[in-house]
A = this chain, B = another copy of it.
Amino acid sequence: MPQFLDASAPDFEERFTALLSAKREDSPDVDATVARIIDDVRNRGDAAVIELTSKFDRLELTPETLAFTAAEVDAAIEGVPGEERQALELAADRIRAYHERQMPQDQEWTDETGATLGWRWSAVSAAGLYVPGGLASYPSSVLMNAIPAKVAGVGRLAVAVPTPDGQVNPLVLLAARISGVDEIYRIGGAQAIAALAYGTRTIAPVDKITGPGNAFVAAAKRRVFGKVGIDMIAGPSEILVIADKDNDPDWIALDLLSQAEHDESAQSILITDDAGFGRAVAQAVDKRLETLERRAIAGASWRDFGAVITVRDLDEAAALSNRIAPEHLELCVADPVGLGAKTIHAGAIFMGQYTPEAIGDYVGGPNHVLPTARSARFSSGLSVMDFLKRTTLSRMTPEALRAIGPAAECLAKSESLEAHGLSVRARLDRLNG
């Protein structure tokens, strides 16, 4: 049973606050282990990576077999059925089209003093993408990470994917091929992150690492941050559905379950202005849980972290949504655009009853790597911006320096930074003398 909350009940604030602050994930403390692995890879390079891969993935590699050859990729993806290949290609095309629109513009202008100011965007030179092995090896995540990198203009994109016992998901290789990935390494865990960040004889270092991973991968990404850039450290997935009574309870139930089935720590919340509809959705969830393949996972998530909240009206729903700051927000109401304008803090919004969140996981176009754990209050989903950086530009003329230089000199003096002031003053004296 999920929790049922009523926004007009006297204990609502207390229960809602408890729901918001529920600790859904206990990260094991693997930091010491990860630190040793990173040091080992920094010191011994390929040899360390090969030893650790033998130990953790039961796979014997050599420097020559660390990377998949093009022929190996060809062979692996040959057997992918046409339907899946076409689906991946459709997804890739839509993701590419969406992210191409995100490319920001350079600017340059001359201001009233004659100074030329502006900025320029440029891509990171090399990026690494971590792809988990085993169950969580999602080809869709390869597309969602690799395509924005390539759209941004990343010159070299390397994938690390562990292949325990030599097993690899051909769809992951196909997704990498479709996305334009340049190198694919058969390595995983903290050793893969260390190899990408610091480089080995075989694996050139990258400047930025993105992609999901287990606790070891997450801890390694935290450790190498600074040496390279990283994306967010994602928590378990979440969905908030705001739905009025004019919806099919079964559709809403399936949307809630499509987050719950990811992970026992996932969280699915329904907010509705109709208590009866809320009960109907909960019943539909129970019914679907009787037969769902991943019912053990989805059932645990729904039981432990699921919630159905009844509100007086949709404005109250928007206010609660902004406190939750959900990763995914579905607006199944008569005026989703109007309600969307009031739900400020969300990673992604899905509007109307024909936009199940699963569309966004695969083929909608927007990225499915989104801020979790209320971080949509201050952060955004993955985009081309994660693979770009901005250089600011300025060029003074003598006239511009005369106009604004004295103010810089004054402020430098007030901050007791004499050389700063002198670097301006020396030029002004020449110009004025």
Contact = CB atoms under 8 A, between A and B. Distances in A.
Interface in A220-256: 226, 228-229, 233, 248, 250-251, 254-255
A358 B389 CA distance: 22
Nearest to A135: B416
Interface stretch (A271-279, A309-317, A359-367): A359-367
9 contacts: A87-B411, A94-B111, A102-B119, A140-B411, A254-B423, A261-B418, A347-B392, A359-B424, A383-B390
A396 interface: yes
B376 A391 contact: yes
B292 A258 contact: no
B91 A411 contact: yes
Contacts of A250: 426
Given A125-B345, A226-B375, A366-B394, 7 more contacts: A84-B410, A87-B410, A248-B430, A251-B426, A354-B427, A358-B412, A363-B405
A331 to B, nearest CB: 9
Contacts of A199: none
A346 B391 contact: yes
B373 A226 contact: yes
Given A359-B394, A394-B360, A294 B84 contact: no
Contact of A366 (B138, B171, B392, B396): B392
A407 B90 contact: yes
Contact of A389 (B135, B380, B390): B380
Contacts of A412: 358, 361-362
A377 B207 contact: yes
A172 B377 CA distance: 28
Contacts of A344: 122, 125, 391
Contacts of A415: 138-140
A104 B385 CA distance: 12
Interface residues of A, number: 122
Nearest to A262: B417
A67 interface: no
Interface in A347-385: 347-367, 370-371, 373, 375-381, 383, 385
B410 A83 contact: yes
A242 to B, nearest CB: 14
A66 interface: no
B358 A424 contact: yes
Contacts of A375: 226, 229
A90 B404 contact: yes
Contacts of A362: 407-408, 411-412, 420
